[in-house]
Structure 1
Amino acid sequence: MSETAHRNESAIWATLVAVGLAAFGIAATQVTTLPAFLLDPALIDAPAEASMAARTLMMVLNFVGFALAGAIYLAWTGRGWAYVDLRWPTTRGWLYVVGGIVVSILFYVVASILLQFLELPATENQIVEIIGDDQTMILLMIVIVFFFNAPAEEFLFRNVVQKRLYDAVTKYQAVVIASLIFALVHLPVYFLADAPLLAVAVSLGIVFGGSVIFGWLYAETDNLVVPIAAHAAFNAFQFGLLYLAFEYDIQEPAPSMVVDLFALVGL
């Protein structure tokens, strides 16, 4: 067997393992979020009408599920916590954080403008339904993205999935593959909204683009804190805009952009 054939076979296997890890993460969230649904069954049919405690618990436990899936994989494969690239960033690392925040904001602003200019449809994810018009829940989401959302997603999809792919493909090929997987993970969420196929495709494309940015930050620094910090700050910025739109009853054109950005956040 040639070296190229062996590499292709390894890449296929590594990708299948990566897809399996993502699926395992989704399955884990179905288990970890059960206490929230037991606390308030309204989460099933009318999440915005559920208690704030139940909604908060569901969001927290959802991301705990992702982290748990990654931790189980590291323990099962013997990689352990030594595999986790968690350390305080250098000055260079913090520059990447700042650059990542700026680039991600610019990417989503440009994407939103293009969507409106080209009149392309996009669909919301379940976060919008969960928050409703509850400003307090928006503020809680800012806390959640810093302590649960960004750390859990970056840990699983960057430090486990993307890094696992390094064994078979280049770092930047791994960024693309991991980002595709991350986008596809959101497929059931957007389809549940019963949206047109084009709207789902557009939304997943935006999620993919954002994921590439955070994956690139990790590939460049080999430090999980960098994409976590950029991801958390970016999501907090989006929720902050949404809070201000509700707080001051901002009318067009600002709310349309805020909603577009928020609907495509791809948490």
Structure 2
Amino acid sequence: MVTLSPRSRSLAVGYGLGIGGGVLAFLLTLPAALGLALVGVSSTAVLLVVSFVFGQYLPFMGLPLVYFRRIRGMSWVRIRSYLGVRVPSLSELGVVVAGFFTILGLALGTIYLVTQVLGLTPAENSAGQLAQEQSRLIPLFIVASLVVIGPCEETLFRGTVQNRLRESFSAPVAITLTAILFASIHVMALVGGLEAIAVSIGILLVPSFVFGIVYEYTENLVVPALIHGIWNAFIFTSLYISIEFGQEGGAAAVLLSLLG
């Protein structure tokens, strides 16, 4: 029987949970969508809500909770403490604001470097494509960014994966490994050639590093969850405004490559 070192075990468990969450999201969402189709439900809005439940809440929040309760035997109080779920203080809300503007500045700089200097084109995000094609759904995406995507993805990646890695690795290593996994797992939502997908994954490292650093600094999961949700909501809001003013191909469309 092979005995793993503490670092190898942390890496295997952390990455296993992160990848497992992505796989589980696919395995749960596909049959749910097929089931709706079989009963004649064709509303895109309904399909989206179902995808948020089966593709976000159950795999990204449910899987970690099962792991903590069943595998590690933690109480609900202990889980909350381990994740660092608490109401943000005023200083932590300041970190939320600073984090958002840091991502914005770095994102714009990165996109300019990639598209204008290097001449590369990022892949399109499937959610972004849908939002552009059916702009009436954008308000739903904005709300979901804040109450579904931000909380669920941060619970899995920062709260679970990064925390598990942090038990055996230094903060820089844990943050980097988590950022790479977080960006890479989005390959399932990207549409385009291999080069374009690789470019998008590289760009997504920008917000991912900020989420990880902020979580390490505050030890409060709500802080990166808020930044994550506000960032995605900002992108969708920018897209909605650009469409309303007839600028569908403007800067907001480029920002879609940074949807976390």
TM-score bin (small chain):
0.7 to 0.9
Instruction: Kindly indicate whether residue 158 of structure 2 is the aligned counterpart of residue 161 of structure 1.
Output: no
Given the superposition, is the C-alpha separation of residues 177 and 38 from structure 1 closer, same or farther in structure 2, using an over 3 Å criterion? same
- Which residue matches 2:46? 53
Distance 1:79 1:172 in 2: 27
Distance 1:263 1:146 in 2: 18
Distance 2:32 2:107 in 1: 34
**Could you tell me which amino acid in structure 1 is paired with residue 211 of structure 2?**
F
Tell me which stretches of 4 or more aligned residues in structure 1 moved more than 4 Å.
none
**Could you tell me which amino acid in structure 1 is paired with residue 74 of structure 2?**
R
**Could you tell me which amino acid in structure 2 is paired with residue 54 of structure 1?**
L
Between 130-139 and 202-211, the greater mean CA deviation after superposition: 130-139
Q: TM-score, with normalisation over the residues of structure 1?
A: 0.85
Name stretches of at least 5 consecutive residues in structure 2 with no aligned partner. Answer: none
Instruction: Kindly indicate whether residue 73 of structure 2 is the aligned counterpart of residue 78 of structure 1.
Output: yes
Instruction: Kindly indicate whether residue 9 of structure 2 is the aligned counterpart of residue 18 of structure 1.
Output: no
- Which residue matches 2:213? 216
Distance 2:68 2:129 in 1: 34
Contact 2:242-2:250 within 8 A present in 1 as well = no
Following superposition, the deviation at residue 132 of structure 1 comes to: 4.1
Name stretches of at least 5 consecutive residues in structure 1 with no aligned partner. Answer: 1-5, 42-48
Following superposition, the deviation at residue 110 of structure 1 comes to: 1.4
Contact 1:154-1:227 within 8 A present in 2 as well = yes
- Which residue matches 2:34? 37
Distance 2:123 2:89 in 1: 38
Q: Deviations over 1:210-248 (max 9, x none)?
A: 111011110000001110111111111100000011111
- Which residue matches 2:60? 66
Q: Deviations over 1:72-93 (max 9, x none)?
A: 1111221343223110112221
Report how many residues are paired. Answer: 247
Instruction: Kindly indicate whether residue 122 of structure 2 is the aligned counterpart of residue 126 of structure 1.
Output: no
Q: Identity, % of aligned pairs? A: 27
Instruction: Kindly indicate whether residue 101 of structure 2 is the aligned counterpart of residue 136 of structure 1.
Output: no
Contact 2:203-2:258 within 8 A present in 1 as well = yes
Instruction: Kindly indicate whether residue 154 of structure 2 is the aligned counterpart of residue 148 of structure 1.
Output: no
Q: TM-score, with normalisation over the residues of structure 2?
A: 0.88
Instruction: Kindly indicate whether residue 251 of structure 2 is the aligned counterpart of residue 257 of structure 1.
Output: yes
